[in-house]
Amino acid sequence: MHALPHADVTPLRGGPTLRWGVIGPGGIAGDWVDTVLRNTGQRVVAVGSRSLERAERFAAEHGVERAVGSPEALVADPEVDAVYVATPHSEHRRLGVLAADAGKHVLIEKPIGLTADDAIAVRDAARRAGVLAAEAMWTRYLPGFSVVAQLLQNGDIGDVRLATADIGWQVPRTAAPRLWDPALGGGALLDMGVYAFWFARFAIGAAHRIEAVGSFAAEGVDDQLAAVVTGADHRMAAVTVSMAAGNTGLGSIVGTGGAIRFLDPLVFPARFAVRTGSDEQVWEDTSGLVLREGLAWQSTAIAQAVADGLTDSPVHPIENAIEVMRMLDSVRDLIAPPTRE
Ligand SMILES: NC(=O)c1ccc[n+]([C@@H]2O[C@H](COP(=O)([O-])OP(=O)(O)OC[C@H]3O[C@@H](n4cnc5c(N)ncnc54)[C@H](OP(=O)(O)O)[C@@H]3O)[C@@H](O)[C@H]2O)c1
Cα 33 to ligand 1 centre (Å): 14
Q: Nearest residue CA, atom 25 of ligand 1? A: 24
pLDDT along the chain (341 residues), means of 10: 92 98 98 98 98 98 98 98 98 99 99 99 99 99 98 98 98 95 98 98 98 97 98 98 97 98 96 95 97 98 98 98 98 88 57
Cα 85 to ligand 1 centre (Å): 9
Q: Nearest residue CA, atom 15 of ligand 1? A: 27
Tell me, what's the pLDDT at 337? Answer: 83
Yes or no: say if 104 and 272 are a contact pair by the CB < 8 Å rule: no
Cα 101 to ligand 1 centre (Å): 22
pLDDT tens profile 181-199? 999 999 999 999 999 999 9
Phi and psi based region of residue 340 (left: phi greater than 0; alpha: psi -120 to 50; beta: remaining):
beta
Q: 271 in a domain, yes or no?
A: yes
Q: 135 in a domain, yes or no?
A: yes
The closest-lying atom of ligand 1 relative to the alpha carbon of residue 183 is 31
Tell me, what's the pLDDT at 341? Answer: 57
Helix (H, G, I), strand (E, B) or coil at 26: coil
Q: Which domain range does residue 27 map to?
A: 19-139
Which domain CATH number covers 36? 3.40.50.720
**Looking at the structure, do residues 169 and 269 belong to the same domain, yes or no?**
yes
Q: Which residues are catalytic?
A: 110
**Looking at the structure, do residues 74 and 204 belong to the same domain, yes or no?**
no
140 Cβ below 6 A of ligand 1: no
Q: 159 in a domain, yes or no?
A: yes
Domain count, the chain: 2
Q: 73 in a domain, yes or no?
A: yes
Tell me, what's the pLDDT at 340? Answer: 63
Task: Tell me the pLDDT of the chain averaged across its residues.
Answer: 97
Domain boundary among 90, 111, 139: 139
Domain boundary among 103, 123, 139: 139
Q: 300 in a domain, yes or no?
A: no
Domain boundary among 139, 172, 196: 139
Count CA atoms within 13 Å of residue 267 on its CB side.
21
Yes or no: say if 236 and 162 are a contact pair by the CB < 8 Å rule: yes
The closest-lying atom of ligand 1 relative to the alpha carbon of residue 185 is 45
B/e letters for 171-207, b = 16+ CB within 10 Å, e = fewer, are beeeebebbbbeebbbbbbbbbbbbbbbbbbbbbbeb
Tell me, what's the pLDDT at 2? Answer: 82
**Looking at the structure, do residues 82 and 148 belong to the same domain, yes or no?**
no
The closest-lying atom of ligand 1 relative to the alpha carbon of residue 110 is 47
